[in-house]
Amino acid sequence: MRILFVGDVMGRSGRDAIAKHLPELKDKLQADVTIVNVDNAASGRGVTKDTAQDMYDAGAECLTGGDHIWDQREMISVIDKDKNILRPLNLPEHTPGQGVWTKALPNGHEIVVIHICGTIFMSKTHFDAPFECVDGVLKNYQLKAGRSIFVDFHAEATSEKMAMAQYLDGRVSAVVGTHTHIPTADCQIFNKGTAYQTDAGMCGDYDSVIGVRADVPIRKFLRNVPLERLIPAAGEATLCGTLIVTDDKTGLAKSIEPVRIGGRLSQQMPDI
């Protein structure tokens, strides 16, 4: 199975890059399933019904969120109706929405997507213990022939992301981090067959400070005053993501490679 994952979409610039590049990218990479993190898609704060539709129109099939999933209040009602949008799994039981997505592909294979948030330095929302939450899901879904399991771990601390991937090694196809908006150069496959990258990076304008116009955070660092409203940078975005190829016989990873197209970052495209 070929799984295309695109990191945090940041504002209008990121959405424009998705519309421009994702349809051709899916075709070129022969993706069987396409997952997009949309935690900052709507003006840099969460996702709306309309911005989610922009992602679907470009070819996304599953959308993951993060700590900003409720920033657009309409999502509280939308997420119960749109089963393709995931909020973090490790929220209280009666929270609207779901943290697991499954789909049967035309060839009979199945993809399972699990979306969780970390707890270190993630003060905006209280998240339950992510390790135990994933264990609960994996009691019902195990890797097997024809099934791949992908985990979007939305977390700040690199140590927490790496610990999660090591903990899940051999039990899921891939663990890829989101949230920090910077693509990391550590794509690898662990000893028991799980693919890993600390952060897929954002789909946004990198002439910025993690996707926002640079002048506001610079003033914050210089003057130590309360932060003004963050404004997404509006230049051309680099679409950043990852392509994972899994073994149809085991569900374990065969390869993981970064994807970068457009904007100012060095371009990178997996070999087909």
Torsion sign across C-alpha atoms 216, 70, 104, 170: positive
Six token digits for residue 167:
């903990």
pLDDT at 250: 98
Helix (H) or strand (E) holding 215: helix 215-223
pLDDT at 187: 98
pLDDT at 226: 74
Residue 87 and residue 67: Cα distance in Å, rounded? 9
pLDDT at 228: 77
Residue 159 and residue 120: Cα distance in Å, rounded? 9
| Residue-range domains of the chain with CATH | 2-204+237-261 (3.60.21.10)
Cα 224 to its chain centre, rounded Å, is 31
pLDDT digits (tens, 9 = 90+) for 142-176: 999 999 999 999 999 999 999 999 999 999 999 99
**pTM of the prediction?**
0.97
Ranges in the chain, pLDDT < 70: 124
Catalytic residues: 68
Q: Largest Cα–Cα distance in the chain?
A: 58
